[in-house]
């Protein structure tokens, strides 16, 4: 039998399991592997569910396997942190050469984030690659690129993570940046040409819907502003509760004040920032989430990088028409990034609200992206280095936003990706003191928590370095792929 599971194939059973909360974590059921053909399980469920002695949890456990792989914590003598991470790379390695439940098969081994996350994640993998590069694990870097390439070939994009219920959305498009890392690690300039068609295919996914857009409208992931500029937004093709947070979404939707609440929630998940006041109309409540009304500065910078990579690679391949086309696209986007996201008064890049035709009020660390990719001018960079030091940099690293909403992608949490982006952004423009401070503040926070707990965490509290970071729909996780990667890379620099 095929072991591939699509949640909609067991919708009735799944709905009851998630609403009754028989498992502490809603992700448990999404990761379950059926032990029998789906039709057989559904038939048994329909026949047995109304019996007086029916026990839902016992039924599920009898019909599904729960493949849990926990990170082994070193209980003996604590290893130095770098040695611990080297051991973790092997513990976090998985191979899925055949489908297992909702898990998609992948041609190569891969690194999972850790904790409850036992699948391949898209944007996490870029930051994992930073550490693999430092560890000299070039083959695993190649594996990650190959897996992304396989997914883009098969589905047209890299899903949020390698499970069937993520086939309606992607994550921040880092594939072109992964090629930069791999090319740098192997001194192989041919890598871009090798993956040229894959880069183009991913670009088509993000630009799908552009052709028929009129000014001041949006389709899928593409926006055309009132003035006729093309920008992008995060999106999801489904407007239903997320299987992995099913009952949470249903409860939140009851008091939601927005149309397409579920799609707005899912679009925020495509951004990787699930969740943040950055997406809330009132800055406080998830019920006011309006991700679909926002063009995001990070996404547009990443798509500029994809356009720029396609332009350079077209030139390498002597495709003069395409070279010209992608050069123009990259140039147009660079101007739009400056026009729509830079706030001269606030000395920060903000997201752009497409319905209100103005920048959003949220101050977020996504402001780093134009500096990370060298899209800012010297004056903007200087102003932003001051904003960063004043508003975002604390004793435990860079915070994600200036607002404390209780959400995990808000103040006071410091996440690994933005420590690397902050460090490199400051280095790019010669602000070496700020770069060093970002590096030292966050790395010492990681070291302190490791010394106290023996773990590397998913996120850290930048303000109170004695406290474990909080917020979010689940407890802070240990493992942790991108923390390991960024920590090693920063210590090397």
Instruction: Give the residue numbers annotated as catalytic, written as ranges.
Output: 274, 458
Assess contact for 272 and 172: CB atoms under 8 A. yes
Among the listed residues 122, 334, 347, the one whose alpha carbon sits nearest the alpha carbon of residue 231: 334
Report d(CA 493, CA 488) in Å as an integer. Answer: 9
| 176-196: b (≥16 Cβ within 10 Å) or e | bbbbebbeebeeeeebbeebb
What the block records as the tokens of 88 is 């973790």
Q: Hey, how many other C-beta atoms are within 10 angstroms of the C-beta on 260?
A: 16
**Beta-carbon contacts of residue 201 (< 8 Å; ≥ 6 apart):** 152, 153, 156
How many whole angstroms separate alpha carbon 291 and alpha carbon 276? 10
Angle at 312 between CA 230 and CA 218, to 5 degrees: 15
CB contact at 8 A, 323 and 311: yes
- The token pair at 8 is 């909609």
**C-alpha torsion sign, points 308, 310, 313, 318:** negative
Contacts of 438 (CB under 8 A, 6+ apart): 393, 397, 398, 419, 422, 423, 426
Instruction: For residues 78 and 72, give the distance between their C-alpha atoms in angstroms, rounded to a whole number.
Output: 13
Bridge partners, residue 100, by sequence: 103
Q: What is the rounded CA–CA span in Å between residue 212 and residue 287?
A: 31
Quote the CA–CA distance of 273 and 275 in Å, as a whole number: 5
């Amino acid at each position: 039998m095929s072991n591939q599971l699509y949640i909609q194939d067991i919708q009735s059973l799944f709905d009851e399991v998630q609403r009754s909360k028989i498992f502490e974590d809603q992700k448990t059921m999404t990761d379950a592997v059926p032990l029998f053909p789906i039709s057989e399980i559904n038939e048994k469920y329909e026949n047995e569910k109304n019996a007086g002695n029916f026990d839902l949890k016992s039924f599920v456990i009898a019909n599904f396997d729960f493949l849990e792989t926990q990170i082994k914590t070193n209980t003996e003598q604590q290893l130095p942190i770098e040695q611990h991470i080297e051991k973790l790379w092997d513990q976090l390695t998985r191979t899925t050469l055949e489908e297992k439940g909702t898990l998609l098969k992948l041609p190569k081994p891969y690194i999972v984030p850790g904790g409850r996350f036992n699948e391949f994640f898209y944007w996490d993998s870029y930051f994992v690659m930073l550490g693999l590069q430092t560890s000299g694990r070039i083959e695993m870097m190649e594996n990650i690129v190959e897996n992304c390439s396989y997914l883009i070939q098969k589905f047209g994009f890299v899903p949020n993570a390698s499970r069937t219920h993520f086939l309606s959305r992607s994550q921040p498009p880092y594939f072109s940046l992964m090629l930069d890392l791999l090319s740098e690690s192997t001194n192989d300039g041919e890598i871009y040409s090798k993956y040229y068609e894959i880069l183009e295919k991913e670009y088509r996914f993000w630009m799908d819907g552009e052709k028929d857009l009129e000014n001041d409208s949006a389709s899928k992931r593409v926006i055309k502003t009132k003035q006729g500029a093309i920008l992008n937004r995060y999106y999801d093709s489904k407007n239903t509760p997320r299987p992995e947070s099913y009952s949470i979404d249903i409860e939140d939707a009851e008091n939601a004040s927005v149309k397409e609440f579920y799609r707005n929630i899912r679009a925020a998940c495509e951004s990787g920032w699930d969740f943040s006041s950055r997406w809330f109309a009132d800055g406080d409540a998830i019920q006011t989430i309006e991700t679909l009304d926002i063009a995001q500065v990070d996404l547009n910078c990443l798509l500029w990088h994809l356009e720029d990579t396609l332009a350079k690679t077209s030139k390498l391949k002597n495709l003069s028409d395409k070279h010209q086309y992608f050069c123009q696209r990259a140039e147009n986007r660079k101007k739009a990034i400056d026009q729509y996201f830079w706030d001269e008064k606030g000395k920060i890049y903000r997201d752009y609200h497409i319905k209100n035709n103005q920048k959003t009020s949220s101050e977020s660390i996504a402001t780093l992206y134009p500096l990370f990719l060298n899209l800012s001018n010297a004056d903007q960079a200087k102003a932003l280095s001051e904003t960063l030091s004043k508003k975002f940099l604390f004793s435990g690293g860079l915070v994600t936003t200036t607002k404390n909403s209780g959400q995990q992608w808000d103040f006071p949490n410091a996440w690994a990706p933005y420590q690397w982006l902050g460090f490199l952004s400051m280095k790019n423009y010669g602000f070496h003191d700020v770069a060093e401070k970002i590096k030292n503040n966050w790395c010492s926070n990681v070291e302190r928590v490791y010394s106290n707990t023996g773990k590397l965490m998913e996120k850290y509290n930048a303000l109170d370095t004695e406290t474990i970071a909080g917020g979010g729909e689940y407890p802070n996780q240990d493992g942790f792929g991108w923390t390991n990667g960024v920590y090693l890379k920063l210590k090397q620099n």
